[in-house]
């Protein structure tokens, strides 16, 4: 029987202004293989919430591209609103955000187990730095880091 791969995804999104120039970023870790994928994507003018959701979408896409087999993904975000909406605890009233939640849940469907956790901002510093890098450089990047 194939064992599950435990993946941790630290996601962050932000906009300078609300709305304003924004980006999404994530740090994806597979501790069993001692690998990390760092990624960021400039989004143009977005709200903070749109950027937070874009970060989860980005992470799910990268995970699907890079990790095969049985997967358990633990997402860590510093946005309590997004975590609670994705966990179904809060309603999503904004139509754009509702579409993003639907897309995220569709991406999860083929993934295995997916869990969302709220963490303090100071524990999400690396993803936050990647958001700022993507905004400053107006870039999209993916860096594979094998320790």
| Domain ranges for the chain | 5-146
Q: Are 73 and 7 in contact (CB under 8 A)?
A: yes
The tens digit of pLDDT for each residue in 76-123 reads 999 999 999 999 999 999 999 999 999 999 999 877 899 999 999 999
Report pLDDT for 37.
94
Question: CATH says 5-146 is which class?
Answer: alpha beta
Mean per-residue pLDDT for 28-34? 84
Q: How many CB atoms lie within 10 A of CB 80?
A: 12
Closest CA to 14 of 142, 132, 133, 143: 132
The tens digit of pLDDT for each residue in 91-103 reads 999 999 999 999 9
Report pLDDT for 34.
79
Q: Mean pLDDT across the chain, nearest whole number?
A: 93
């Amino acid at each position: 029987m194939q064992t599950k791969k435990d993946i941790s995804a630290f996601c962050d999104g932000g906009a300078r202004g609300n709305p304003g120039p924004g980006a999404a970023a994530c740090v994806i870790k597979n501790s069993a293989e001692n690998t990390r994928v760092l990624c960021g994507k400039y989004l143009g003018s977005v709200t903070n919430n749109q950027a937070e959701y874009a970060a989860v979408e980005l992470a799910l896409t990268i995970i699907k591209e890079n990790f095969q087999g049985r997967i358990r993904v633990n997402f860590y975000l510093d946005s309590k609103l997004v975590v609670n909406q994705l966990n179904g605890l809060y309603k999503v009233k904004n139509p754009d955000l509702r579409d993003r939640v639907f897309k995220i849940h569709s991406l999860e469907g083929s993934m295995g187990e997916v869990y969302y956790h709220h963490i303090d901002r100071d524990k999400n510093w690396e993803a936050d730095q990647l958001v700022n890098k993507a905004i400053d450089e107006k870039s999209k990047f993916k860096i594979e880091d094998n320790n």
